Amino acid sequence: MEYPDCSLIISTYNWPEALDLCLKSAINQSISPNEIIIADDGSREETKYLIEHYTKISKVQIVHVWHEDTGFKLAEIRNKAIAKSSYSYIIQVDGDVILNSNFVKDHLIFAKKKQYLFGSRVNIVKSFLPTLFSTKMINFNFFSLGIKKRFRSLRLPFLMKMQKPLNSVSLKLRGCNMSFWKEDFLKINGYNEDFFGWGGEDYELAHRFHKIGLVGKRLKFTAIIYHIYHKEAAKNNLDYTHQVLDKSLNSTSFFTENGIDKHIQS
């Protein structure tokens, strides 16, 4: 089977211990991405040194895209990272997840024109973190200790035949496990950088995908990731987030004015 060339985008902020496991799993895929791009929202030097280490040992090219820490600007740093990408298909995750060894393969198997994909996650519980970080464990399965929602750890790709395309945005969509064609992303001008602070940017992006005629498809029992427990980000900007989201949802335009175009060199 021939797969599209792809860029794996990993977003991170000041948690090198988790990024270490994410990168370790990313360079041990059954089918490797063509490149790995770290979308770094202003991390300190420890993260830079970690990425330099992986750049030396990885057979896959790793690119570090960093900007100054001026607050939670996930939409902006993802745009900057994708602007640097070289391949036709984008798979994105967060740096606090561990990828099943077939994660990239699963996204590529189900990649289809006029469609974006999104998956779920298995949760690694707080009490298991000392063991996780001391052993640097990246291989989990249904019977592994330290996880919950473990049925999501079952990889049964044949069940994807039961998944129907969706004509509207699913509330189960998470940007930590999502993929799409770069040409579709550029057509809508990428993430809306009016978003800063926690939440909203992924749902709004997918909503604009639907405005250009894409459908979504949920990856169940495939494209498995394991989310490392952490305290939830502060949600003290929700009123503003809802204003930005409502403005977009009520607009007929699929193109965001404050998007990726300003980061692309002509």
Q: Tokens representing 43?
A: 């991390």
pLDDT at 218: 97
pLDDT at 197: 72
Q: Is the distance from CB of 64 to CB of 189 less than 8 angstroms? A: no
Q: What percent of the chain clears pLDDT 70, i.e. is strictly above it?
A: 99
Sheet holding 6-12, edge to edge: 61-66, 35-40, 6-12, 89-94, 177-181, 115-119, 215-219
Model confidence over 86-119: pLDDT tens digits? Answer: 999 999 999 999 999 999 999 999 999 999 999 9
Confidence of residue 1 (pLDDT cuts 50, 70, 90): confident
Confidence of residue 193 (pLDDT cuts 50, 70, 90): very high
Q: Is the pLDDT of residue 234 over 80?
A: no
Confidence of residue 122 (pLDDT cuts 50, 70, 90): very high
Determine how many CB atoms are found less than 10 A away from the CB of residue 46: 13
Measured CA to CA, the distance from residue 185 to residue 205 in angstroms comes to 9
Measured CA to CA, the distance from residue 140 to residue 142 in angstroms comes to 7
Measured CA to CA, the distance from residue 129 to residue 124 in angstroms comes to 8
